[in-house]
């Protein structure tokens, strides 16, 4: 017996700030039809369209996008209870360490722009993913206002800070997740599942199909096992860095290799120039994961940083997901900014289940 006297069919979604398509891909695996992805970064267009051929990429600045014109373009209607709006906006401004604060300020209030579309369309479901800083500074980030808006418009919602490692991702990747619905009286986040196998050795390495390569290796195939160049000094540093979790302490007493900023300050930024551990989850894959100087992004034993494909696999993109960009840094940015597809799939499956339960 149905709880409501109507059937709404499958869920469909619009992916605001879609980037390379991590959440679009994951939602599609969950059985949700993603109608369109919207992003200001034209570099993402080819990547998105190659891997998500049934979803339209719309290259536009959301600040300049008008809701009525958008409605006409993709054919969505107001008050559609089967419609999901996904708002995973760029998070640079709200990260714990932000060295480009001025540059990232333009992304500060994207939640406010997203709310403009929510207010116009009143979708059945809303999903937001961002860094924990969005929640910890909720007044400045406009999250506090957004939560009040949800309550005033009778959306049930839940939110929390999760670690993607509890959701099928081999990373220590903490994220703020919010799921809201005006269809349901209550809604839940996906259930966390501890899995000790979600560690680096089970995703990269020669036994997982990653041939040994050197720094600067360029892979023109679709596998994209490409690694960034390293200076001669940084290669010497890696040669002296212990395998499987070693860090810059291995060469702190070498006057040629030691970095002036860290002399006598070995306790700060301990992960910089560090190697990953084989038997631990990777650190958060950021937009700079190909650079050994930006964190613990050195290969556990090879004398190089992570390759593009290694970063993508640690983000749970499948090995046949093809990335396109003007250079290696552009592609790394797409990979690091993405919502991991496996986390996305589990969020999507939660929506599908709860939506079906409400109507069956």
Q: Supply the residues annotated as catalytic.
A: 91
- Please give the Cα distance from 308 to 186 (Å, whole number): 40
Radius of gyration, CA atoms only, the chain: 21
Query: Pairing between strand 174-181 and 156-163?
Result: antiparallel
- Please give the Cα distance from 40 to 322 (Å, whole number): 20
CA distance readout (Å), 262 to 150, 269, 357: 47, 9, 56
74, containing H or E segment: helix 67-74
Phi-psi category of residue 209: left, alpha or beta, with phi > 0 → left and psi -120 to 50 → alpha: left
- Please give the Cα distance from 323 to 309 (Å, whole number): 9
- Please give the Cα distance from 107 to 109 (Å, whole number): 6
């Amino acid at each position: 017996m149905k709880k409501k006297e109507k059937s709404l069919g499958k869920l469909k979604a619009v992916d605001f700030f879609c980037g390379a398509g991590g959440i679009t891909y994951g939602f599609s695996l969950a059985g949700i039809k993603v109608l369109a992805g919207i992003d200001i970064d034209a570099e993402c267009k080819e990547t998105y369209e190659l891997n998500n051929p049934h979803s339209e990429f719309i290259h536009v600045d959301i600040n300049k996008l008008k809701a009525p014109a958008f409605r006409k373009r993709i054919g969505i209607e107001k008050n559609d209870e089967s419609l999901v709006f996904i708002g995973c906006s760029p998070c640079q401004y709200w990260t714990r360490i932000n060295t480009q604060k001025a540059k990232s300020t333009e992304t500060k209030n994207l939640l406010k722009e997203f709310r403009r579309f929510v207010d116009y369309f009143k979708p059945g479901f809303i999903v937001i993913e961002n860094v924990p800083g969005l929640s910890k500074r909720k007044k400045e980030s406009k999250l506090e206002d957004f939560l009040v808006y949800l309550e005033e418009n009778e959306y049930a919602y839940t939110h929390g800070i999760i670690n993607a490692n509890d959701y099928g991702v081999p990373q220590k990747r903490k994220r703020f997740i919010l799921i809201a619905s005006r269809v349901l009286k209550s809604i839940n986040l996906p259930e966390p599942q501890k899995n000790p196998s979600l560690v680096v050795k089970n995703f990269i390495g020669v036994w997982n199909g990653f041939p040994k390569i050197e720094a600067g290796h360029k892979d023109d195939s679709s596998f994209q096992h490409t690694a960034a160049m390293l200076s001669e000094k940084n290669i010497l540093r890696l040669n002296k860095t212990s395998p499987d979790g070693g860090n810059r302490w291995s060469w702190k007493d070498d006057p040629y290799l030691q970095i002036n900023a860290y002399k006598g300050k070995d306790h700060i930024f301990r992960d910089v120039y560090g190697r990953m551990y084989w038997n631990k989850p990777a650190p958060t894959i950021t937009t700079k994961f190909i650079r050994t100087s930006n964190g613990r992004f050195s290969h556990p034993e090879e004398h190089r940083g992570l390759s593009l494909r290694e970063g993508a696999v640690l983000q749970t993109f499948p090995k046949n997901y093809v990335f396109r960009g003007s250079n290696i840094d552009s592609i790394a940015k797409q990979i690091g900014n993405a919502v991991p597809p496996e986390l996305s799939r589990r969020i999507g499956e939660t929506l599908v289940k709860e939506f079906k339960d409400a109507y069956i």
